[in-house]
Amino acid sequence: MTSTLLVLVAIMATVVWWLLRQTVNVRPWIAGRPAEGVSGDGALPLPPVKVGLGVFLAVATSLFALLISAYFMRMEGADWTTLTVPKGLWLNTAALMLSSVAMQWTRVAARRGRIDGVRIGLIAGGVFTFGFLAGQLWVWRQLNASGYFVAANPANAFFYLLTALHGLHLLGGLWVWGKTTAKAARGAEVGAVRLSVELCTTYWHYLLLVWLILFALLLSTPPRQSSCPPDTFAICGVTK
Amino acid sequence: MSYVAHDESVFVRPAEVEEPELYHPKTFIGKYIWSQDAKVIGVQYSITAIAVGLVALVLSGIMRLQLGFPHTFSFIDPSNYLQFVTMHGMIMVIYLLTALFLGGFGNYLIPLMIGARDMVFPYVNMISYWIYLFAVLLLMASFFVPGGSTGAGWTLYPPQAILEGTPGVHMGIILMLVSLAFFIIGFTMGGLNYVVTVLQARTRGMTLMRLPLTIWGIFMATILALLAFPALFVSAIMMTLDQTLGTSFFVPALVSRGEHLDYSGGSPILFQHLFWFFGHPEVYIVALPAFGIVSDLIAVHARKNIFGYRMMVWAIVAIGGLSFIVWAHHMYVSGMNPYFGFFFAATTLIIAVPTALKVYNWVLTLWRGNIHLTVPMLFAIGFIFTFVNGGLTGLFLGNVPIDLPLSKTMFVVAHFHMVMAVSPILVVFGAIYHWYPKVTGRMLNDSMGKFHFWVTFLGTYAIYFPMHYLGFLGVPRRYYAVENLDFIPQSAQSLNVAITIAALIVGAVQLVFLYNLVWSYFKGKPSGDNPWQATTLEWQTAHTPPTHGNFGSTLPVVYRWAYDYSVPGVEADFIPQNQPPIKRAGSSEEA
């Protein structure tokens, strides 16, 4: 559970640090008038959706960190075999990277007020993302055809689980992407889509980062150091 | 309504918020069914949670009947008994308490108390409720599928949860896991709302340190829930895969009923880690809102500012942080490394420090306060007693050598129900008696309320206090029947009978509460806008119950904290948060 702990300690430390900064040296019992022109004292200078996305990314981080912890703990089992990583994954990774680059390019275009650039960037980003998802499905089929379905061994089970959850997160992003692209295609001003573009870009970068970590995890060879003999009622091997 | 003369020069214009784009419902269905108004969603959450909680209450009554009078009721067989235990636990902890505190009170109170018109994402908020309702219906459906609901115990430990022999191993467990996954998705949608609304939608002058403690409790509990529920989500998905597709995440190679199963190498301990990584923060997800609400109830009904407000806030934050590093104290009996056990015992004892601080502060707030023994106050004081009792036995169980022999006995049931079941439920009742006038415009009946309090409070003691002794005797928990064990004296059975009678009485008296809720809605005394003379913003609305948008045309401006009760030199014994500072000679009011 160490990796989860580290991630959650980092998140909680940020929360606690921020809250303490807001609350230390404040004397709440003294009444006083609020400063002029400020609504919502102490609110972050961001639109609520951006804060919402930030909170959601923290939740997703907790989810993936827990899965990675589970992966490491399960790796210590005696029956662990390394996943033979399908070559197609390299291609998919490249597609996801390109989609992230396209989204970044869209963000720059949106900042500069070029709606044409926004349209092209959004479509390119979407095409690469769909390419990535199609590629992942193809890899699933390939694995399945060569006899490694989800129950074949624990590494494969994790592979299907991790890619499925990552893919579902991307699909959620594509829903927002679809709404934004439709808006831009219908001839909306840059101002009307800028916020959505920024949210999508952040989300795409985040999911690329998660994918790179998961990919590295799948590539890494496990240390075989379990003290559990095979075919026991394996209660050992975890809390060492 | 003018309490003190104040200088016009300190008046501040209301915040310039743009006209809110609120969803304006036109039909009855739009207003009360598919509603995006946080107040309506809060009431929907509360009614659903209480309804499903009643199912769980009935289940606990059946369990007690079996324990008190074994061999009497033919409709309770061992399988049923385990199913009732499981469903009772899961419903009470997640579908009642979590949903009621965060979905119910959170939705109703957050926008009103921070001076916002609604949650920041009202549409997502509405979806959150409907997903919750769907999760509840899935769970209820599991009673009626072939094989019935799961009987794996509320912790759902594999491998037994998905092996032949456990009740509900085919459909029941799947429905439970899928229902949990939906609950978590729905909760995450609501939780995003609660956190972002508290951060971004506070009205002018409502700094973080002027938030009522209720909001602090709900806010921190939501952060915990958002970070902890993914652990349950992950384990629910992985167990579903183990059961349906035959993966081996959690199930080791084993022989069941003389047959080698296809599983190999899975780790049951991995599940326990994931489950309790969620499960322990869950305790505080329920406790922190209760802490916050009880602080406000005590301050309002003792007409005194809360003692040590800043300390209370920091204690909430500290408990939230620490609650992530105590989970393995639920797993002492899993054979863990002693150093591990030592670490978790230490953190468990450390988390008692901020918790104890809060208890001292409540008591010090009561000290020399102008205590009004209203029904909410009675419940708040009842909570302090119960919580201290349950918390103290927690200190025992937090130590490895004491936990090992007691872990499988009724002592744990008694501890857990005192601290995590009865305490928060007393706060739920107190909060309902306190805020019902705002929700409906009518007071709940006082005599029925006092009767409800005394029977519930004394009754729960009669149930759980003797249960500690049963635990010391070694009476095991989870058992359908305890018979022919030499070390358990015959008197233990007499105690069980007494506990069952007390439990049935307490259960029946909850009907008085329900009757009160309905009766008062039509016949209760009209409450006016601010029946408890409280300072917080929800009591300063122009209409009771508040209309859509909460505060009419302009949002209130906040000038002070939520605890200006009995301020020296001021005639009225409370000053609302939106009252401008008073200019007086030699006064320290204006900063």
Chain segment B431-445, per-residue pLDDT in tens: 999 999 999 999 999
**Continuous H helices in B398-442:** 400-406, 410-416, 423-440
Say whether residue A31 is in contact with chain B using an 8 A CB cutoff. Answer: yes
Q: Which two tokens stand for residue B133?
A: 């309702």
Nearest CA to B87 out of B141, B19, B50 is that of: B141
- Alpha-carbon distance of B17 to B555, in angstroms, equals 8
One-letter amino acid of B321: G
Say whether residue A150 is in contact with chain B using an 8 A CB cutoff. Answer: yes
Cα A140 to the center of its chain, rounded Å? 20
* pLDDT at residue A84 in the model: 78
Give B542's DSSP letter. Answer: S
Selected residues 91-130 of chain B with any CB under 8 Å from a CB in chain A: 120-121
Closest Cβ–Cβ partner in B241, B269, B318 for A239? B269
- Alpha-carbon distance of B431 to B105, in angstroms, equals 9
Q: Which two tokens stand for residue B69?
A: 């009078």
Does the pLDDT of residue B404 top 80, yes or no? yes
pLDDT along chain A (240 residues), means of 10: 76 84 83 65 82 95 93 84 84 96 96 92 96 95 85 86 96 95 89 93 97 90 50 39
Are residues B230 and A23, on separate chains, in Cβ contact within 8 Å? no
- Alpha-carbon distance of A225 to A204, in angstroms, equals 37
Give A211's DSSP letter. Answer: H
Closest Cβ–Cβ partner in A48, A237, A239 for B200? A48
Say whether residue B320 is in contact with chain A using an 8 A CB cutoff. Answer: yes
Say whether residue A53 is in contact with chain B using an 8 A CB cutoff. Answer: no
Which ipTM was obtained for this model? 0.90
Say whether residue A221 is in contact with chain B using an 8 A CB cutoff. Answer: no
Are residues A239 and B15, on separate chains, in Cβ contact within 8 Å? no
Are residues B310 and A63, on separate chains, in Cβ contact within 8 Å? no
Percent of chain B exceeding pLDDT 70 equals 94
Does the pLDDT of residue B292 top 60, yes or no? yes
Are residues A66 and B266, on separate chains, in Cβ contact within 8 Å? no
- Alpha-carbon distance of B361 to B146, in angstroms, equals 52
> Cβ(B410)–Cβ(B475) under 8 Å?
yes
- Alpha-carbon distance of B250 to B177, in angstroms, equals 14
- Chain B neighbors of A36, CB-CB under 8 A: 12-13
Nearest CA to A71 out of A148, A165, A1 is that of: A1
Q: Which two tokens stand for residue B483?
A: 């018979």
Cα dist from B365 to B249, B360, B372, whole Å = 51, 8, 13
Q: Which of A74-78, A146-150, B368-372, B553-557 has the highest mean pLDDT?
A: B368-372
Please tell me the least confidently modeled range out of A121-135, A153-167, B61-75, B478-492. Answer: B478-492
Closest Cβ–Cβ partner in A43, A66, A234 for B267? A234
The pLDDT mean for chain B works out to 91
CA distance, residue A127 to nearest chain B CA (Å) = 28
Please tell me the least confidently modeled range out of A192-196, B132-136, B372-376. Answer: A192-196
- Alpha-carbon distance of B148 to B152, in angstroms, equals 12
Say whether residue A163 is in contact with chain B using an 8 A CB cutoff. Answer: no
> Cβ(B296)–Cβ(B536) under 8 Å?
yes
Beta-bridged to residue B442, according to DSSP, are B526
- Chain B neighbors of A79, CB-CB under 8 A: 248, 253, 264-265
Position with higher pLDDT, A77 vs B45: B45
Cis status, amide bond into B376, omega within 30 of 0: no
Nearest CA to B181 out of B243, B131, B144 is that of: B131
Give B211's DSSP letter. Answer: S
Closest Cβ–Cβ partner in A8, A49, A157 for B249? A157
**Mutation site, B193, B264, B331, B564, interface A, largest A CB count within 10 A:** B264
Cis status, amide bond into B545, omega within 30 of 0: yes
Q: Where in B93-199 does DSSP place strands (E)?
A: none
Chain segment B103-127, per-residue pLDDT in tens: 999 999 999 999 999 999 999 999 9
- Taking residue B165's Cβ as centre, other Cβ atoms within 10 Å add up to 10
> What's the average model confidence in pLDDT over B559-585?
86
Cα B102 to the center of its chain, rounded Å? 8
Selected residues 397-426 of chain B with any CB under 8 Å from a CB in chain A: none
* pLDDT at residue B69 in the model: 93
* Dihedral over Cα of A143, A146, A150, A153: its sign: negative
Say whether residue A164 is in contact with chain B using an 8 A CB cutoff. Answer: no
The residues, ordered by sequence, that sit 6+ positions from B264 with a Cβ below 8 Å of its Cβ are: A79, A230, A231, B248, B252, B253
Q: Which residue of A has its CA nearest to B243?
A: A151
Are residues B199 and A30, on separate chains, in Cβ contact within 8 Å? no
Are residues A55 and B241, on separate chains, in Cβ contact within 8 Å? no
Say whether residue A44 is in contact with chain B using an 8 A CB cutoff. Answer: yes
Please tell me the least confidently modeled range out of B208-217, B256-265, B287-296, B450-459. Answer: B256-265
- Alpha-carbon distance of B347 to B343, in angstroms, equals 6
3-state secondary structure of A31: coil
Are residues A40 and B324, on separate chains, in Cβ contact within 8 Å? no
* pLDDT at residue A237 in the model: 39
> What's the average model confidence in pLDDT over B35-50?
95
* pLDDT at residue A228 in the model: 46
**Continuous H helices in B91-165:** 107-114, 122-141
> Cβ(B159)–Cβ(B252) under 8 Å?
yes
| Secondary structure tally for chain B: helices H, strands E | 16, 2
- Chain A neighbors of B269, CB-CB under 8 A: 235, 238-239
Nearest CA to B283 out of B239, B379, B348 is that of: B348
Are residues A28 and B334, on separate chains, in Cβ contact within 8 Å? no
Are residues A48 and B196, on separate chains, in Cβ contact within 8 Å? yes
Angle between the N-to-C axes of helices A115-145 and A154-185, in degrees from 0 to 180, rounded to the nearest 10: 160
Say whether residue A229 is in contact with chain B using an 8 A CB cutoff. Answer: no
- Alpha-carbon distance of B374 to B379, in angstroms, equals 9
Q: Which residue of B has its CA nearest to A239?
A: B336
* pLDDT at residue B120 in the model: 94
* pLDDT at residue B589 in the model: 52
Are residues B266 and A234, on separate chains, in Cβ contact within 8 Å? yes
Selected residues 338-367 of chain B with any CB under 8 Å from a CB in chain A: 340
Chain segment B257-280, per-residue pLDDT in tens: 888 888 888 899 999 999 999 999
Give B255's DSSP letter. Answer: E
Q: Which two tokens stand for residue B82?
A: 């385990």
Say whether residue B280 is in contact with chain A using an 8 A CB cutoff. Answer: no
Q: Which two tokens stand for residue B270?
A: 């991995």
- Alpha-carbon distance of B427 to B450, in angstroms, equals 15
Percent of chain B exceeding pLDDT 90 equals 77
> Cβ(A68)–Cβ(A2) under 8 Å?
no
Say whether residue B9 is in contact with chain A using an 8 A CB cutoff. Answer: no
Backbone angles phi, psi at B578, to 5 degrees: -95, 15
Backbone angles phi, psi at B256, to 5 degrees: -125, 125
- Chain B neighbors of A26, CB-CB under 8 A: 207, 209, 310
* pLDDT at residue B12 in the model: 57
Please tell me the least confidently modeled range out of B156-170, B424-438, B508-522, B574-588. Answer: B574-588
Q: Which two tokens stand for residue A203?
A: 């989300």
CB pairs under 8 A between A and B: 228
> Cβ(B168)–Cβ(B146) under 8 Å?
no
Selected residues 542-561 of chain B with any CB under 8 Å from a CB in chain A: 557-561
Are residues A55 and B196, on separate chains, in Cβ contact within 8 Å? yes
The model's pTM is 0.93
Supply angle C-alpha A188, A194, A199, rounded to 5. 130
B565-572 own/partner pairs: CB under 8 Å, 24+ apart: B565/B299, B565/B300, B565/B302, B565/B303, B565/B304, B565/B305, B565/B535, B566/B303, B566/B304, B566/B305, B566/B370, B570/B3, B570/B4, B571/B3, B571/B4, B572/B3, B572/B4
Are residues A26 and B209, on separate chains, in Cβ contact within 8 Å? yes
* pLDDT at residue A187 in the model: 83
Are residues B252 and A234, on separate chains, in Cβ contact within 8 Å? yes
- Alpha-carbon distance of B566 to B304, in angstroms, equals 6
3-state secondary structure of B256: strand
Q: Which two tokens stand for residue B481?
A: 């029947």
Give B259's DSSP letter. Answer: E
* pLDDT at residue A221 in the model: 62
